[in-house]
Amino acid sequence: MSIKEFVASIPVNKVGFKDIFGYEKTPRNLILTVLTFGLLAMFAAGVGLYLLHGHHAYNVTREHPWGLLLAAYIFFVVSSTGLCIIGSLGDVFGFKDYELISKRAIFGSIVTILSGFAVILFEIGHPVTMVIYNVLTPGLTSAIWWMGTLYGLYLTFMIIEFVFLLKGDAKFAKYFGLVGLIIGLAAHSNLGAVFGFLNARPISNGVYFPMYFILTAFITGVFIAYLFMGFRYKLKFPERVKKMLTNLGKIQIFLLSFLAFFMTWKMLTDLYGGMPNRADVAHHILGSWTFWAEVILVIVIPLLVLLKDMGRSHVAMFYASFSGMAGIAFMRYNLIHDTQVKPLQMLKVYEYQLPPTWIHYSPSAAEWMISLGGIGLCITLYYLGTKFFNLDADEGHAEQKA
């Protein structure tokens, strides 16, 4: 089969302009539409500010060079890895119950990573240079190099897997899915290593982040799975979906408990012995409201909802997943901020008359707009996907029609 024939054989719905806007005009849908357009406009405005002022549009400084955009990028790629894991449960590992979400999750993983790339494009000072010299003079000891390169590869595999899923070719979808999953996990742990490799920052240094990133990706994937299913079935879940969600809920109980365990030990090791540059930063983190927002939104609220009846309150979990995702956003922000919060100082006790303090950072308007705009991109791409492709499992789709 020639490439042309292959491409032509991918099932795509014929969609016109009318179909795209031809959705039910319920108040909820209308609000969502306005919100999405608002977010997209924000993205455009943020990019405009960036084009006008360059990096000066951002509030990053010499001491706090990583800002909200990096947190947003991490947020999106974590979501992508998480969705890839969820998607793989069915079509790579063959757990039948999860097959009905595979296609949707894999498509979601493509959408979220594209949005992540769109955000990071405006964070990196010279994206074109990056593409050229990533290839010509690769920094093989750099976690950023591996993360970027592997994510590029991962995206390719996800797209191929998705195409095979659309074509109903389970075998090839499985192969590409498996390789894509492995590359995705490698990429994602490298993203953790970007922080873990910072010998200069004892608070982040070590093996914790590479592993924690995989764990929190899985958790994020489960939250998004609830959101996808909630919107797809308008909270009236068919039996099969209910069964899957209950199972996912049980997995999530395990994952969240594990996360709590992980975080507790991380904090205890950080505090223990009062090691300079680590214990003081840990104290600072414990005293920051963003840390507690993360704990309450990601762990406490969802876990309470899940534990109430072992994951059977699907509608409640749908709402708790919003809490979870908001918490994950805090989690990413905290990660980048906490890494840089302690000045390295280097004898500049008075850095040009400023007394030494914790390093402050608050995102600029452009940073907010591009980051939130990324969410708009996500929603838009996902919505278009639901129109152009059949994201339901084929059987489930038949069931739905009947």
Partner 1 sequence: MARYGMALDYKNCIDCKACESACKEENGVLLGADKHRIWVGTKEVEGEFPFLSISSSGFVPSQCQHCEAAPCQEVCPTNATYYDENGVVRVDADKCILCTYCMNACPYDARYVDDRTMTVDKCNFCSDTRLARGETTTACQNTCPTKVRTFGDLDDPYSEISELLRRRDHYSLKAHLGTKPKLFYLT
Told to check if 59 binds partner 1 by CB under 8 A, we report no
Least distance (Å) between residue 152 CB and partner 1: 12
Instruction: Please identify, using beta-carbon distances, which residue of 66 and 389 lies nearer to partner 1.
Output: 66
CA gap 268, 258 in Å, rounded: 15
Q: Does 21 bind partner 1 (CB under 8 A)?
A: no
Q: Which region among 167-175, 304-312, 318-326, 336-344 touches partner 1 (by CB under 8 A)? A: 336-344
CB nearer partner 1, residue 161 or residue 338: 338
Q: Which of 260, 321, 324 is nearest to 298 (CA)?
A: 324
3-state secondary structure of 351: strand
Q: Under the criterion CB under 8 A, does residue 201 sit at the interface with partner 1?
A: yes
- DSSP for 158-224, written as a single string: HHHHHHHHHTT-HHHHHHHHHHHHHHHHHHHHHHHHHHHT-TT-TTT-SSHHHHHHHHHHHHHHHHH
208 binds partner 1, rule: CB under 8 A: no
Separation CA 263–CA 208 (nearest Å): 10
Nearer residue to partner 1 within complex by CB, 205 or 288: 205
Binding string, residues 225-264; x marks residues near partner 1 by CB under 8 A: ----------------------------------------
> Could you say which residues in the range 337-396 bind partner 1, by CB under 8 A?
339-340, 343-352
Least Cβ distance, residue 340 to partner 1 (angstroms) = 7
25 binds partner 1 (CB under 8 A): no
Subset of 284-303 contacting partner 1 (CB under 8 A): none
C-alpha 384/C-alpha 303 separation (Å) is: 33
Cα separations (Å) of 156 from 138, 249, 259, 299, 346? 20, 30, 30, 33, 44
Give the number of other CB atoms < 10 A from CB of residue 179.
16
Structure-token match 């998705």, residue found:
162
Gap between the Cα atoms of 31 and 122, Å rounded: 28
Tokens representing 210 are 């590479």
According to CB under 8 A, which one of 98, 151, 162, 197 is a site residue for partner 1? 197
CB 34 within 8 A of CB 42: no
- Residues 135-154, mask of contacts with partner 1 (x by CB under 8 A): --xxx-xxxxx--x------
Which residue in the set 63, 97, 394, 399 belongs to the binding site for partner 1 (CB under 8 A)?
63
Which residues contact partner 1 by CB under 8 A?
54-56, 60-63, 65-66, 124-127, 129-130, 133-134, 137-139, 141-145, 148, 194, 197-201, 339-340, 343-352
